[in-house]
Structure formats: structure tokens, C-alpha cells
Amino acid sequence: MIRDDDIETDASVREDARTDGGTSAEGADDVALDPWGSSTISDYRKLFEEFGIEEFDEVLSDVPNPHYLMRRGVIFGHRDYRPVAEAMRDGDPFAVLSGFMPTGDPHIGHKLVFDEIIWHQQQGGDAYGLIADLEAHSARGMTWEEIDKHARDYLLSLLALGFDPEEGELYRQSDNRQLQDLSFELGSKANFSEFEAIYGFDSGTNVSHLQSVVTQMADILYPQLDEPKPTVIPVGPDQDPHVRLARDLAARMRFFKVTEAYASFELTDAERDLVASLYETLDPADFDDDDLRCVHVAQFLDGVTPEELDVVVDAETISSAQTKLNEAGMEPLRPRVRFLDANATDEAFDALVEAIDGEKRRYDEHIDAFDLSFEAADELAREVEVEHGGYGFVAPSSIYHRFMTGLTGGKMSSSIPASHISLLDDPEDGYNKVKSATTGGRETAEKQRELGGEADKCPVYELYAYLLSGDDDEFAKEVYDECVGGERLCGGCKEQAAELMRAFLEDHQEKREEMEELLDDLDISTDSQRRGVAPSDD
Ligand code: TRP
Ligand code: SF4
């Protein structure tokens, strides 16, 4: 129903054009991903090509009972979601976490994320919802009073939609000591120049803003404090820079780096691919030997051009690999897994040597093991790390949803009330907003019957697909087919959508009220009693 190229209109739930520390968008085209800019994403395909986000469709079949947002392509992309899907399928531990900046009312765009958290919780995940109050204060200049009010509203909606606070955890960044400790540790593995490169921060960026980024890194890894586990972070694609940095930091905190190797020296990834393919194809007998030796491979590579090889490789890589192989001379080329010491304590290093089964060789900075698969080695490294006081983080995963188109066309923006529907809107206002929404309809009823409507360009259809149809794919499909088939006219279609929206808001707000008491009993404060002034920025 929703195809790859459906949503051409830039649609972002972020309204704030405030530049806090510049943006990475300068000079780039409109796919630059900027967490604090007004994200304009006009071509989702570029996110795959330029940022390495993967298409969700590719993992869809691995997900047991996928959510309707997955089935309908609203969740369009992911990073490394497979381990989460596998854990879900096998009943292994996994977690879901997302955060909300309390800068305004929660609206139907946030509902997507609420639903994603809740669904993963229902699939057996440890679920976390957090209020990004430090970020709202330092990056958006919200006062603590405003933050407290909005925080309460986000939490009530999350609970009303089905988040189970007994099983899951809700917290505010400012209130969570463990989180702050983790954030401090992670900060020691990040430096300012990275922040410049990733976020466009500069010498005028306020330091609390930096701190809020490190706090978000801690948020993302927080579910793994008990034990390492696959964790999914459902967000909009504007948050991808945060996800990438968190994945990097998770790796930098590890005690050991596990790699595949072929001899005692280190190869780059490209060199390793080359050597791996040669190991598979070359026969030691061709060199009058029982073992394939480094020097044999070097000889073979003499004068070989990239085109003559089965593997994609450049001439430079061939020559650098050849040099290394020549230097190693008669050393046999022999596959092994290597544990590089990154942050290990001496005890952990010794313990790992002990724990490795089969043939192994110990060096100053690394250990080679000859009888372990990469997967087994990776697991062993994590076990030893955790036993010796490390975190053993699994790289966090993410899923990305499309931004909704504004009801008035253009982007959905909190600062244009008619463009979005707040979860707190009076149901009657919600009804009216849908009734006055732009559509993908034709100029006249006649033309519409003849040509059909353009559901793919219609914000009202989006409401059906993203929210109003709920789990009922048949219904969403019916609306789509009737629209493009010319059987459905916009007046009646909007009336139906408006009524459904009104009913949804009535029901949601009733549930919110029922949650007030529960929220007051929870261990999360919506009265922070903090003091502060607006942050400074250039
Ligand atoms: N930066 C996010 C936003 O702008 C909020 C956030 C804070 C968050 N911590 C997080 C999102 C952790 C996902 C995971 O909305
Ligand atoms: Fe949109 Fe409905 Fe009109 Fe189709 S019939 S263009 S879905 S409002």
C-alpha cells in the first residue's frame, strides 16, 4: 500500500528552526540528518544509499507477528534489527527504548513511537520510555516548569496506549543516577572533534548541550546495564546520527575486539577479504608444500591485477597485503580468531586465555585461537568481560518510521496547530482538523470517479494507514483500493476519518484520565523543582 516513493512531501514532527550549535546540513542536500534541525526528508531512498540505513522489508519476514506499522511500510528502515527479531523469535532477552523531548504536546506522530515501544514490550521485551528533559532544557531552552507539564502529558499518553509500567521502566534523564554514571563513562570515549563532525557543534555550542548528547548515548545503552542484550531504539531517521555514535561508543567500551585473522599480523578489512578468498582457492600442492604459507600467497599475488581475482579489491590493497605476506615469509596462512586487547584489565586478559578451548597463542596485545568460530569467540569475549566488571555491550539496533505529512500539506509541525493532531486536542477539534485537511482528491467528483484519487499523496489516507485502521489491514486496503479505483469520494472519506479520529481522541483521553492515579504512584516525578535559566548559545 505505501510504496517506497509514496511520501514526497517533507514531513517532520520537528518545528524548531533554532540553531543550537549549527547543523550538519550546511552545504549538504536535504537528506542531511540533523537531530535538532527541522528535518526535511524528501527522499527516503537516499537514506539507504548515503547513510547505510537498511530497508525494513529485508527483515520483515524474520519478525514474528509484525506490527501493522511494519507491515504497511511506515517503519521503513533499520540498523541491525536482526538480532532483536531473533531474540524475539527464540524467547531470548531483548529490550526496547525510546525517549521524548518534552517540548510541546504529544501528538499523533509521537503515537507511532509509543506504539512501537508498547508492541515490543508485548512481544516480551524489557521496555523503557524516557523523558529527555536535559536535552529539552539545554538544546531547546525549555524552562523546568514547561518540561514538567509536558513530561506528564507524554507519560500519560504512553500509559494510556498500553505501556505496562510494572514490567517496564519510565524515567527522566535528570533523575536517574545510574544513567548519569554511565553517561560519564561513555563521555570518556568520545571527544569534541567527533561532535563537531557529527553534529556540527562548534566553539559556541553550550556545554550542557554536549552533556545532553552523552546522556542520550547512555539512554541508548541503559537497558544493557543488567546484562548485555539486543536493544532496539525506535525513532525517526533524524536520530540516526545518535544511533551511529551510540553503536561506536558501545564498541569502544568493550574489553576485547574480536576479529578473524589468517596469520600473526593484522590485516585491514579489505586485505582480510582478499586473503580469505585466496585461502579458499589456493592449493599448497601448487607450491610443493603441505601448508599454504604467507610467502606462497605473496608469490601468487605478484603481478596479479584486481580483475583477475574473484573478490572485489583494489590494486593498493593487493600490494599492501603482499608486503605483509612477504614479511611473514614461511609462516603458515592459517585462519584463526583474534582477541585484541582494547580495554581489558590484566585479570580479564589472563582469564580469557584460560577460558579459550583448543589451540591458542598468546601475544602481548592479543590472543589467537585456532579452534573457535567467530560467533563462539565473540560470546566468550563478552562473558569474560562481564565477569570482570565490563559492560559487554551489544551494539544497539534501531528502526525508523516515516514522518507524517501535515494535514495542511507540507510538513507536520507542532508550531502549526492545523497541521497536526495533538493527543490532547478536544475530540471535536480533531474531527474538524480532519474535515479541513488537504487530500489527494481530484478537482471534481466526476474526475475522481474517472481517474481515482491519489491516496499515495493524501494526508487523510496516511491517517488511515498510520492510525485509524489500527491492526485492520483489510480496512486500510479497502480505503486505498476504493480511493484509487474512484469509488471513494473525499467528502465521505474525510467524514469517516474525522469520526474515527474523534472516537480515538475521546477514548484516548478517557484512558489518560484513568492513568493519572497510576502515574502519581510511579517512581517518576513530574515536579522536578529544578531551577535554571535559558542556556547560552551563539
Ligand atoms: N533526542 C531525542 C529527540 O529529539 C530524544 C531522546 C533522548 C531519545 N534520549 C533518547 C530518543 C534515547 C531515543 C533514544 O526526540
Ligand atoms: Fe484521500 Fe480519501 Fe480523497 Fe482518497 S478519497 S484522496 S484517501 S480523502
pLDDT in tens, the chain (538 residues): 333 333 223 333 233 333 333 333 333 344 567 777 655 566 788 888 888 899 999 999 999 999 999 999 999 999 999 999 999 999 999 999 999 999 999 999 999 999 999 999 999 999 999 999 999 999 999 999 999 999 999 999 999 999 999 999 999 999 999 999 999 999 999 999 999 999 999 999 999 999 999 999 999 999 999 999 999 999 999 999 999 999 999 999 999 999 999 999 999 999 999 999 999 999 999 999 999 999 999 999 999 999 999 899 999 999 999 999 999 999 999 999 999 999 999 999 999 999 999 999 999 999 999 999 999 999 999 999 999 999 999 999 999 999 999 999 888 887 788 889 999 999 999 999 999 999 999 999 999 999 999 999 999 999 999 999 999 999 999 999 999 999 999 999 999 999 999 999 999 999 999 999 999 999 999 998 899 888 887 5
Instruction: HSE, CB side, 13 Å, CA atoms: give it for residue 386.
Output: 14
> What is residue 361's three-state secondary structure?
strand
Within-domain flag for 45 = yes
Within-domain flag for 533 = no
Count of structural domains within the chain:
3
**Domain of 383?**
257-387
The per-residue pLDDT for 40 is 56
Do residue 113 and residue 31 come from a single domain? yes
Do residue 203 and residue 284 come from a single domain? no
The per-residue pLDDT for 452 is 96
Within-domain flag for 2 = no
Which ligand has an atom closest to residue 479 CA? 2
Instruction: Determine whether the shortest distance from the Cβ of 117 to ligand 1 is under 6 A.
Output: no
Q: How many CB atoms lie within 10 A of CB 41?
A: 23
Gap from CA of 408 to ligand 2 centroid (Å): 14
- Report the atom number in ligand 2 closest to the C-alpha of 437: 8
Our mutation pick for probing the ligand 1 site, out of 242, 247, 249, counting the most ligand atoms within 8 A of Cβ, is 242
> What is residue 302's three-state secondary structure?
coil
The per-residue pLDDT for 420 is 92
CA distance 466 to 67: 11
Instruction: Determine whether the shortest distance from the Cβ of 20 to ligand 1 is under 6 A.
Output: no
CA distance 387 to 497: 55
Tell me the CA distances in angstroms from 403 to 2, 98, 432, one per residue in order: 13, 16, 22
Instruction: Determine whether the shortest distance from the Cβ of 398 to ligand 1 is under 6 A.
Output: no
The per-residue pLDDT for 22 is 33
Do residue 144 and residue 172 come from a single domain? yes
- Report the atom number in ligand 2 closest to the C-alpha of 441: 6
Do residue 349 and residue 452 come from a single domain? no
The per-residue pLDDT for 35 is 76
- Report the atom number in ligand 2 closest to the C-alpha of 458: 1
Do residue 144 and residue 198 come from a single domain? yes
Last residue of a domain, one of 387, 409, 443: 387
Alpha helices by DSSP H, listed for 222-345, are: 240-252, 269-281, 294-301, 315-328
369 bridge partner residues: 337, 360
Instruction: Determine whether the shortest distance from the Cβ of 139 to ligand 1 is under 6 A.
Output: no
Within-domain flag for 357 = yes
Instruction: Determine whether the shortest distance from the Cβ of 133 to ligand 1 is under 6 A.
Output: no
367 bridge partner residues: 339, 362
Q: How many CB atoms lie within 10 A of CB 451?
A: 11
CA distance 356 to 372: 8
The per-residue pLDDT for 538 is 59
256 bridge partner residues: 341
Specify the residue with its C-alpha closest to ligand 1, atom 6.
Answer: 99
Do residue 241 and residue 323 come from a single domain? no
Pocket of ligand 2 (CB under 6 A): 439-441, 453-455, 458, 460-461, 483, 488, 490, 493-494
Instruction: Determine whether the shortest distance from the Cβ of 322 to ligand 1 is under 6 A.
Output: no
Within-domain flag for 355 = yes
CA distance 186 to 250: 8
Task: Output the domain CATH number for residue 43.
Answer: 3.40.50.620
CA distance 438 to 421: 14
Which ligand has an atom closest to residue 483 CA? 2
Instruction: HSE, CB side, 13 Å, CA atoms: give it for residue 61.
Output: 1
Cα dihedral 436, 441, 445, 449 in deg (nearest 10): -150
Gap from CA of 120 to ligand 2 centroid (Å): 32
The per-residue pLDDT for 511 is 98
The per-residue pLDDT for 24 is 34
Gap from CA of 483 to ligand 2 centroid (Å): 6
Gap from CA of 62 to ligand 1 centroid (Å): 27
The per-residue pLDDT for 41 is 62
CA distance 151 to 527: 9
Tell me the CA distances in angstroms from 360 to 90, 333, 344, 353, 378, one per residue in order: 32, 15, 18, 8, 15
Gap from CA of 360 to ligand 1 centroid (Å): 44
171 bridge partner residues: 130
Residue tagged 466526476 (cell numbers): 446
Do residue 338 and residue 444 come from a single domain? no
CB 237 within 8 A of CB 400: yes
Do residue 144 and residue 84 come from a single domain? yes
Is this model's pTM higher than 0.75 or not? yes
Do residue 37 and residue 180 come from a single domain? yes
- Report the atom number in ligand 2 closest to the C-alpha of 464: 7
Task: Output the domain CATH number for residue 423.
Answer: 1.10.240.10
Last residue of a domain, one of 370, 401, 432: 401
Within-domain flag for 537 = no
The per-residue pLDDT for 9 is 30
- Report the atom number in ligand 2 closest to the C-alpha of 454: 6
- Report the atom number in ligand 2 closest to the C-alpha of 459: 1
Specify the residue with its C-alpha closest to ligand 2, atom 7.
Answer: 461
- Report the atom number in ligand 2 closest to the C-alpha of 484: 4
Do residue 104 and residue 204 come from a single domain? yes
Which ligand has an atom closest to residue 407 CA? 2
Which ligand has an atom closest to residue 134 CA? 1
The per-residue pLDDT for 44 is 81
CA distance 444 to 418: 24
Q: What are phi and psi of 489, to 5 degrees?
A: -110, 155
CB 138 within 8 A of CB 209: yes
Within-domain flag for 491 = yes
Q: How many CB atoms lie within 10 A of CB 226?
A: 10
Specify the residue with its C-alpha closest to ligand 1, atom 4.
Answer: 101
Do residue 249 and residue 265 come from a single domain? no
- Report the atom number in ligand 1 closest to the C-alpha of 234: 13
Please name the amino acid found at residue 38.
S
CA distance 378 to 347: 18
Do residue 70 and residue 144 come from a single domain? yes
Tell me the CA distances in angstroms from 171 to 134, 399, 480, one per residue in order: 12, 21, 40
Our mutation pick for probing the ligand 1 site, out of 34, 79, 101, counting the most ligand atoms within 8 A of Cβ, is 101
- Report the atom number in ligand 1 closest to the C-alpha of 219: 12
What is the Cα Rg of the chain in Å? 27
Instruction: Determine whether the shortest distance from the Cβ of 98 to ligand 1 is under 6 A.
Output: yes
Within-domain flag for 172 = yes
Angle between helix 240-252 and 192-199 (nearest 10): 150
Gap from CA of 399 to ligand 1 centroid (Å): 13
CA distance 218 to 197: 20
